[in-house]
């Protein structure tokens, strides 16, 4: 079985492909995001092509070598990992060799295999999954028409990793050559480029003080515990009472997970000596891709120095320019004058009081509401 479409030749794997598979699977990204053995040896590649050929013979899968239609060079892999005839569905998987990236190889291959699955095999649904954080795979799926439907918790029984999952139905697949959803320059493409990379460090200036906003690390946890035990922090935030080192470790894992998922950007604020001065979060709305909200807390020794307004302004500028946000909201319990002052100094316009807007230690409380718009910075 061969498929020729959009400059690609998709054909069953051959014994002679083992060298190309072995070379491709030395790639750190393939080793990070797939289940290939590590280290990846030549015998693993030989087993790979033999197993895929056996799937064709048994009719349990349909694995294609993705090749350049003109030269025949192996560019990647794409296929149906399992075929469930009873339920008329399968799961699609793919990878691109490092020497073929940036050419839309995976997008073209997945579209071709999907069309073949629906037209020739008469499947009614394809399943897609990827570990949370694999934004390159997610972007390919979106560009092929996959609808991302949720996240499976602890999908990996060994590592406990979470997994995105989605489905593709007949009629969802864009035509050959069609740009389709999540094309270059779209918000999905921009976010994948950001969250698919290590979290950056941002910089701000408060008077004569140079500040950094960097990813949280284990060395920050003791200072976070101290800040979260402070009476003012407990009064105005929802951190657990009796905050412990274990709480801080859980929070570190949480913020690392939200960056991988692309749902929020959590930074610690440090001074010129890299001492912890506070935390600040930019949380993306799950329903409105152009909306986010901010939250922050300041370490007691760093209060009153203008650190948070400077950090807030830098983080919001990053959110508007890099993530493409249109509106960033701030909320605080009515009476939290310090938080309001920081937001106003950063340019937030106060919009009023929302009655019973926040849940705080067993009660509904009123909240001050403010916002900063992208055009406010122009």
Name the strands in the sheet holding 3-5, side by side, starting at the edge strand that comes first in the sequence: 3-5, 8-12, 62-68, 74-84, 89-96, 125-131, 163-168, 147-152
- pLDDT at 160 (0 to 100): 61
Dihedral Cα 30, 34, 39, 41, nearest 10 deg: -80
- pLDDT at 158 (0 to 100): 60
Which residues in 26-170 belong to E strands, given as ranges? 62-68, 74-84, 89-96, 125-131, 147-152, 163-168
Quick: pLDDT tens for 138-193: 999 999 999 999 998 876 766 567 899 999 999 999 988 888 889 888 999 999 99
Quick: pLDDT tens for 29-58: 999 999 999 999 999 999 999 999 999 999
Residue entry with tokens 């709480």: 247
Chain length of the chain: 378
Quick: pLDDT tens for 225-278: 999 999 999 999 999 999 999 999 999 999 999 999 999 999 999 999 999 999
Residue entry with tokens 């499976």: 152
Contact between 350 and 329 (Cβ < 8 Å)? no
Residue 207 has pLDDT above 70, yes or no: yes
- pLDDT at 272 (0 to 100): 94
**Cα gap 309→87, rounded to integer Å:** 56
Residue entry with tokens 């008077």: 207
Contact between 132 and 257 (Cβ < 8 Å)? yes
- pLDDT at 171 (0 to 100): 93
In the chain, what are the domains? 3-191 (3.40.630.30), 202-377 (3.40.630.30)
Please count the CA atoms within 13 angstroms of the CA of 275 that sit on its side-chain side: 12
**Cα gap 285→283, rounded to integer Å:** 7
């Amino acid at each position: 079985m061969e498929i020729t479409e959009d400059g690609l030749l998709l054909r069953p794997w051959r014994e002679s492909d083992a060298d190309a598979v072995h070379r491709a699977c030395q790639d750190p990204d393939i080793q990070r995001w797939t289940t290939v053995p590590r280290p990846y040896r030549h015998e693993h590649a030989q087993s790979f092509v033999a197993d895929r050929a056996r799937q064709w013979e048994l009719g349990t899968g349909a694995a294609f070598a993705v090749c350049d239609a003109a030269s025949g060079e192996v560019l990647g892999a794409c296929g149906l990992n399992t075929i469930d005839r009873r339920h008329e569905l399968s799961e699609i998987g793919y990878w691109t060799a490092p020497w073929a990236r940036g050419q839309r190889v995976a997008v073209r291959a997945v579209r071709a295999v999907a069309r073949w699955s629906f037209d020739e095999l008469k499947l009614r649904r394809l399943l897609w999954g990827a570990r949370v954080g694999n934004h390159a795979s997610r972007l390919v799926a979106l560009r092929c028409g996959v609808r991302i439907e949720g996240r499976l918790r602890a999908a990996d029984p060994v590592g406990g990793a979470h997994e995105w999952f989605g489905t593709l139905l007949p009629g969802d697949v864009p035509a050959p050559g069609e740009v389709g959803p999540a094309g270059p320059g779209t918000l999905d493409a921009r976010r994948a480029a950001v969250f698919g990379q290590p979290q950056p460090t941002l910089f701000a200036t408060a008077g004569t003080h140079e500040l950094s906003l960097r990813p949280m690390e284990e060395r920050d946890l003791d200072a976070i515990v101290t800040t979260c035990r402070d009476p003012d922090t407990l009064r105005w935030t929802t951190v657990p009472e009796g905050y412990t080192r274990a709480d801080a470790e859980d929070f570190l894992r949480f913020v690392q997970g939200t960056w991988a998922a692309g749902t929020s950007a959590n930074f610690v604020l440090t001074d010129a000596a890299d001492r912890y001065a506070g935390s600040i979060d930019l949380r993306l709305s799950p329903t409105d891709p152009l909306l986010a909200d901010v939250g922050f807390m300041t370490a007691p020794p760093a209060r009153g120095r203008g650190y948070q307004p400077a950090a807030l302004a830098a983080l919001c500028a990053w959110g508007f320019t890099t993530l493409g946000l249109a509106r960033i909201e701030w909320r605080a319990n009515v009476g939290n004058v310090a938080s309001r002052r920081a937001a106003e100094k950063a340019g937030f316009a106060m919009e009023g009081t929302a009655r019973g807007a926040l849940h705080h230690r067993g009660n509904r409380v009123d909240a001050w509401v403010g916002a900063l718009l992208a055009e406010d910075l122009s």
